[in-house]
Amino acid sequence: MIPGPFDYHSPATLDEAVALLGQNGDAKILAGGQSLIPAMRFRLALPEILIDINGIAGLDGIAEAGDKLVIGGLTRESALEVSDLVQQKYPLLADTARVIADPLVRNLATVGGNLAHADPANDHPATMLAYDAEVVARGPNGERVIAIDEFFTGLFETSLGSNEILTEVRIPQPSAGSGGAYVKLERKVGDYAISAIAVQLTLDGDAVSAARIGLTNVSPVPIRSPGAEQALIGSSPTDEVLEATGQAAAAECDPSADLRGSVEYKRDLTRVLTKRAVARAVERAKGGSA
């Protein structure tokens, strides 16, 4: 399958890339290309202009700065997998990176692309929702910061302007007593989630003092489950509280029936996986590793 015709540009700077986005015509950013190129081969995407940002220096990297973990938009998933910092301090992110597509895809696929594509089946949206991350966008008028809660606006749609490029993701450093986990059920390596749950929480003594829960592939737009978060916050994570949390997530998700399962199955799976993810996050919070 051959993609439709397009003009290819490989700018050396972000300013050039932003200027190219502002030209006439339907332009797309090519980062890892692991979602875009398959979509182009199926002719689901027919951009007239492709702007390859892989030649722009300084768009990748994983480092703490101030009270944030800063991840360059062009950072490959495989870099997260081998980052000691991510593995030790950001287990929710480490869990997520390990289950995205397959190792070959992760050698090219980027964190920024996974978010900007805004596929509700992608894994980073739920994780970044749970982390309360920020997205940095660069446009003709400079840089702006978008809260992750304001980022996903529809199926494959974000609040990025048509002439903006996602350059960075910023995750707040977890406070003491925090823990996180991503639990995904997939039919096989490389498939999208049937359902997956991202949890980031903080314990104060035995009680959960803060929690955010993101859901993957059980709604048309990446979402949090506020009901599940409320069921958890202020309580000790007993079996009863975990069950109530899972039930709230099941009630608030909005899955579609497809070849991965019926609506009823996906809802119940969301309940079960939420309980598992919360239990693992609590375990990690108690273990001292964030």
Partner 1 sequence: MSRHTITVNVNGEDITREVDARNLLVHFIREDLDLTGTHIGCDTTSCGACTVLLDGRAVKSCTVFAVQANGRSVETIEALAADGNLHPLQEGFWEKHGLQCGYCTPGMIMSAKHLLEENPDPTEEEIRWGISGNLCRCTGYNKIVEAIQYAAEQQKEAEA
Q: What residue ranges bind partner 1 (CB under 8 A)?
A: 1-8, 10, 30, 33-34, 37-38, 40-41, 50, 52, 54, 78, 101-105, 107-108, 189-190
Strand partners, 224: 214
State which residue, 102 or 268, has the beta carbon closest to partner 1.
102
Residue 100 beta carbon to partner 1: minimum distance, rounded to whole angstroms: 11
Tell me the residue type at 214. Answer: G
Give the shortest CB-82-to-partner 1 separation in angstroms: 8
For 4-37, letters b (16+ CB in 10 Å) and e give: eebeebebeebeebbebbeeeeebbbbbbbbbbe
CB-based contacts of 104: which residues, under 8 Å, 6+ apart? none
What three-state secondary structure class fits 210?
A: strand
Question: Considering beta carbons, is residue 44 or 65 the nearer one to partner 1?
Answer: 44
CB nearer partner 1, residue 170 or residue 184? 184
- Which C-beta is closer to partner 1: that of 8 or that of 67? 8
Helix (H, G, I), strand (E, B) or coil at 96: helix
Give the residue with the Cβ less far from partner 1, 107 or 173. 107
**Residue 156 buriedness (CB in 10 A; 0-12 / 13-18 / 19+):** middle
Alpha-carbon gap, residue 136 to 71, rounded angstroms: 10
Distance CA 67, CA 132 (A): 13
CB of 108 to partner 1, least distance (A): 5
As measured in angstroms, the least distance from the Cβ of 37 to partner 1 is: 5
Closest approach, Cβ 93 to partner 1, in A, equals 18
